[in-house]
Amino acid sequence: MKKFVFFIIIFLCIYSSQLTTYAEESEQLNLKSEGVALLDSDTGAVLYAKNANEKMYPASLTKIATAIYAIDKGNLDSIVTVSENAVRQEGTRVYLIEGEQVPLKKLIQGMLINSGNDAAVAIAEHLDGTVEQFAENLNIFLKTKIGVSNTHFTNPNGLFNENHYTTAMDMALMTNYAIKNPVFAEIFGTKVLDWKGQSWESTLLTHHRMLKGELPYPGITGGKTGYTSETKQTLATTADNGKIRLTAIVLKSEQKNDKYNDTSLLLDYGFHAYQHETIKQSELFTTDKKEFYPENDTLITENVTGVIKKVNNQGLLSIENQNGRVVQSIQLKYKEPAKSKVVPEKKTPSKEPTPSMFQINTVVAMVIVVFAAVLMGVRKKLIKKY
C-alpha cells in the first residue's frame, strides 16, 4: 500500500512539478459569491478557497479554455471560414456573417474581449470540424494538459447546458495555465480593440470593469466576465502588485457588483497576507533519518506572519500557514546516504622463514672450514710432488 501511495505522488509530481492543496479558510472573508478560488499565479499555491470543488456553471469563462486550446493547437494565422451555425449563436456576438473569412487570432480576440459567442463556435468548427468533437477534444486537453478534475464542457462559449460545468478551482487552474502563454496574456489584458468585420465595424471594449478602469484597482492585468440567468455572475481576474501575481475566480454571484467586490477583497487579502520566498537547492529537510532536497531553487508562497514546513517520508514538503492550513506542497528529491568505503584487506604475501644470524654464521663457518680443508689437501699434494 505504501508503495502504491508513493507512486501516485511521483506521478502527480511529474505531471505538475508542484502540487497544490488547500482547506477551507479559517480567515473568513465576507464574500457573497458561492464558489471562490485565489491562487498565486506563479507557484500555484492556493491562498483562499470557498466551495472551490463544488460543481458550478462558468458561463463565458468557458472562453478562457477555448482560447488557450485554440492557441495551443491552432495556427493563429490560419483563415477561418464562418459557418451558418456560428452565425446563429445567441447572446453576445461580433456579428460574423456566413462565409466570412477571418484569421484565427482575430476570432480569439473577438471571443475574449467582446465575448463573441459566434466567434467561439467558428473557432471550434475550424479546429475540430464540429462543436461536439471540439468539446470532446477540449475536455481531454483540460484533463491531460492542465489537470482539471471536475470539469465537463459541451460547447466553446459557455451557453447554459446542465452538462456544462466546472469548479472555481478548476477554472483557476485553467486561467493560471493560460496566462503563462504570452499570446493569451496579451489578449486577456486587452482593454480596447478596433474591430473591422464584413458586416460590423466597432471599437471593442473589455467587459471586465476593473480591467477597463471603471472600478479602479491597481495592478489588474487581465480578466473575463460571464453571465447567464441560470449561471448567475462569474468573473476571472489576474493582478500583479510587482511582488506577487494573483489569479482570482468567483462563481455564482447574484449581483454584478458582488463579483467585483468579492474580487477586490480576494486581491487585497492575497497581496497583504502573502509573499514569495525561495527554497535553495542546497537546503535539506529531514524526517526519520531521511534527507530530502529541492531539485532546483524553488519559489514558494508564504504567509507574511510566517510558515511551517513539514516533510513526510515520501519527501512531500508541505508549506503551512500559522493556522496549520497547507498553502503549497512540493515534491522533494531523496538524498542518497553517502556510501561508506570498504577498504579491502591487504593480503600479506607469505614469506619463507628468515634464517637467524646464528644460522647464517654457522653456515659461513662450515664453508670456511671446508674451504680450508681443501686448501690443506692441495698443499700436501704439492709438497709430495716436489
Burial (CB < 10 A; 0-12, 13-18, 19+), residue 176, is buried
Q: What are the grid coordinates assigned to 44, written together?
A: 500555484
Cα separation, 47 vs 327, in Å, equals 6
In 83-170, which ranges are E strands?
Answer: 101-103
Residues with Cβ within 8 Å of residue 162, at least 6 apart in sequence = none
As a dihedral over the C-alpha atoms of residue 319, residue 322, residue 326, residue 332, rounded to 10 degrees, the angle is: 20
Residue with grid cell 507574511, as numbered in its chain: 304
Identified catalytic residue from 41, 83, 115, 329: 115
Identified catalytic residue from 60, 253, 318, 329: 60
Question: Does the active-site annotation cover 60?
Answer: yes
Q: What are the grid coordinates assigned to 230, written together?
A: 441560470
| Beta bridge partner(s), residue 292 | 285, 334
Cα separation, 59 vs 208, in Å, equals 14
Identified catalytic residue from 50, 63, 105, 106: 63
CA distances from residue 50 to 28, 148, 262 in whole angstroms, order as listed: 9, 17, 12
Catalytic residues: 60, 63, 115
